[in-house]
Amino acid sequence: MREEKEQESRQHRAYEATKKKEAYNKVWGEVSHRDKSLWTKAQLKVLVSYKKQKADKWRLPTTVAALLEKWEIIKDRLLPEELLLESVEEQENNDDEDENDEGDDVIEEDDVIEEV
């Protein structure tokens, strides 16, 4: 029963993430070639909310000016799927380093310091 609820919750989060990504891609396609002064509040909300991360302590701005200001700050952030891919690659690199470090506890002749 608990596992079913967890799986249902994961599916719901995945569905919500997909909807959010589709909305972002649609809006970005509409506004990327237009001057920022022509962007609507609804479009800015979609863009900013998609780039907002869980660790961000700020609330989503409510005015066009504040949304534009926040967009200028966060527009170059990686997209959520890029962050996920980066963290997976980083984990794989750490695993590779751990495998390579296994022989580091062997003392070689150059490592021995003679005491006087």
Residue-level pLDDT at 2 = 86
Average pLDDT over every residue of 88-116: 59
Which is higher by pLDDT, 33 or 90? Answer: 33
Which pLDDT score is estimated for 70?
Answer: 97
Instruction: Domain ranges for the chain, please list them.
Output: 2-96
Q: CB-side exposure of 66: number of CA atoms within 13 Å?
A: 8
pLDDT score, position 13: 87
In b/e form, how buried is each residue of 68-104, taking b as 16+ CB within 10 angstroms? bebbeeeeeeeebeeeeeeeeeeeeeeeeeeeeeeee
Largest Cα–Cα separation, the chain: 77
